[in-house]
Structure 1
Amino acid sequence: MSQNTTGYAEPGLASIEIEGMTRESFLIKSALAAGAVYGVGMVGPFVRQAFAAEAPSDAGDIKILNFALTLEYLEAAFYKEGLGKVKFTGGTKAVITEIGANENEHVSTLISTIKGLGGTPVTAPGVMFPYKDEKSFLMLAQVFEDTGVSAYNGAGPAIKNKDLLAAAGSIVQIEARHAARIRLINGELPAPEAFDKALTTDAVLAAVKPFIKA
């Protein structure tokens, strides 16, 4: 069983409300509740099962999921590389390990979802990350996590399938916790504003373009 080893709680998953009680909605709601009790690593298989039971979505939802997948590829690659190159101090390595595992789960879930909806997942892009030590890695991690949260905030209203929207909401909650944890490590306020901003697709792509190889 996967356990949370970072020392910070993930209490909000069980409280997400999902309209209706179709079989698919019930599966997703059960998955989110399991995540609150057992940790986010337990959520993915159940969410994938619910996604597989969904009727095919339109091309717009698949496009949004591929956009999210690109960001998750970027984050997963970043944490994997960092764990192999950076000498982390204190308990930071455990935090980065847990975040990296979450990002890998997001990647696998999005790939399965896109395939289940009849779409083709985008391939992982080549990446390049300009950090040289623990401090610069953590500053870049803050940029990625803040951007990821704002990206999901911006994309959410365009998702038409309500169950996909609920599942995306569960992912953005975890991304927000990542952002808060990294901010705390960097000596900053975990939630400096009462409301988070939403970024357009173009704005997000412009923000991450320097880290993607052509």
Structure 2
Amino acid sequence: MMHTNTKYRSRNADDDGASLVNRRLFLTSAGLTTAFGTLLIVSGCTTEDHPIPNSDVVDLGDGDFGVLNYAYALEQLEAAFYAKVIDSPYTGITDTERAILTDIRDHEIVHREFFKAALGNKAIKGLTPNFDAIDFSSKASVLAAAKLFEDTGVAAYNGAGRLIKNAEYLLLAGKIVSVEARHAAVIRDLINPKSADFAGDDIIDMNGMDKATPPADILSAVKGFVRDTINGAHIGQ
């Protein structure tokens, strides 16, 4: 979603935006969930196979479903962050910035609801975010946090890809991480317009490859933004 190639229109604050977004997200996530549900049947799994135990610790589980819960946890965090950004815009936000951040919010909500519906009762609970360290009235603070979340999200999907055994799940993850990479690029361009930072050498290596970070490192990096304790020790096992 590079804004250099997309014409953004400003949103009217008086519009019933939530209703419109909810209808669009329902249709989109319903289609994704249907595809995912077919994969569950083909793989011989039902929603009773790997129930997540009740515990004070959020256990992501094992195997492919552990990886999917890992993605679901990260999408929960991102969706909650952008929802708060749009609900409480930073001082001086422009129409273009609001439009871009609203689109990102909508994408993250679709991703979150997709994983929640597709995983069924294997899904982890709704997490409680901790955004105390972010000043939502400050553009610099909000965009710095957005950069962190988007760069972390891309590295997380890349790092978890090798743990996915089902090729169809890997394909779905690839489709989502490409969207996350577009988010990461446009956030970097909002911070430093018309620069090469959208694909900076802090995220792209000398071989032109993006970072791939293991789940343990990602969970450690984001734990300060979640009030829950997350156990990802069995992801992909």
Taking a change above 3 Å as real, the CA distance of residues 207 and 70 of structure 1, as seen in their structure-2 partners, is same
Shift of 1:7: 6.0
Distance across 2 between alignment mates of 1:44 and 1:140 = 26
Matches of 1:160 and 1:180 in 2, distance apart?
Answer: 29
Q: Relative CO higher for 1 or 2, CA cutoff 8 Å, sep ≥ 6? A: 2
**What is the distance in 1 between the residues matched to 2:44 and 2:109?**
24
Partner residue in 1 for 2:175: 170
Q: Which structure's residues are more often helix, by fraction?
A: 1
Question: Which residue matches 1:77?
Answer: 80
> Separation in 1 of the partners of 2:119 and 2:31?
15
Cα 1:56–1:154, aligned 2, differ >3 Å: closer, same or farther? farther
Match of 2:57 in 1: none
Distance 1:98 1:158 in 2: 30
- Taking the TM superposition and a 5 Å limit, the aligned residue runs for 1:29-108 are 44-54=29-39, 55-56=43-44, 59-87=62-90, 88-108=93-113
Report runs of 4+ in structure 1 exceeding 6 Å deviation.
Answer: none
Shift of the alpha carbon at 1:161?
0.9
- The separation in 1 between residues aligned to 2:5 and 2:227, in whole angstroms, is 34
Aligned counterpart, 1:141:
146
CA contact (8 A) 1:153 1:199 kept: yes
After superposition, what is the alpha-carbon deviation per residue over 1:142-197, rounded to whole angstroms, capped at 9, x for unaligned?
Answer: 00000000000011111111111101100000000000000000105111222111
Distance 1:184 1:65 in 2: 30
Q: CA deviation at 1:122?
A: 0.8
Q: What letter matches 2:123 in structure 1?
A: P
Q: Distance in 1 between matches of 2:3 and 2:199?
A: 19
Of 160, 185, 191 in structure 1, the residue corresponding to residue 199 of structure 2 is 191
Deviation at 1:46, TM superposition (A): 3.0
Aligned-partner Cα distance in 2 for 1:8–1:112: 32
Q: Take 2:26 and 2:155, find their aligned partners in 1: how far apart are those partners?
A: 23
Opposite residue 98 of structure 1, the aligned amino acid is D
Task: Report deviation, 1:90.
Answer: 4.2
Structure 1 distance, partners of 2:30, 2:156, is 24
**What letter is aligned with 1:53?**
T
CA apart distance, 1:42: 7.1
1:53 aligned counterpart, secondary structure: helix
Kept after mapping to 2: 8 A contact 1:83/1:96 = yes
Q: CA deviation at 1:53?
A: 1.1
Task: Using structure 2 for the length normalisation, give the TM-score.
Answer: 0.69
* Matching residue of 2:130: 128
Please identify, of 156-165 and 187-196, the stretch whose mean Cα deviation from structure 2 is larger: 187-196
Report sequence identity in percent.
35
Superposed CA RMSD: 2.4
Give the whole-Å Cα distance in 1 for the aligned partners of 2:169 and 2:82: 26
Query: Structure 1: where are the runs of 5+ without partners?
Result: 10-39
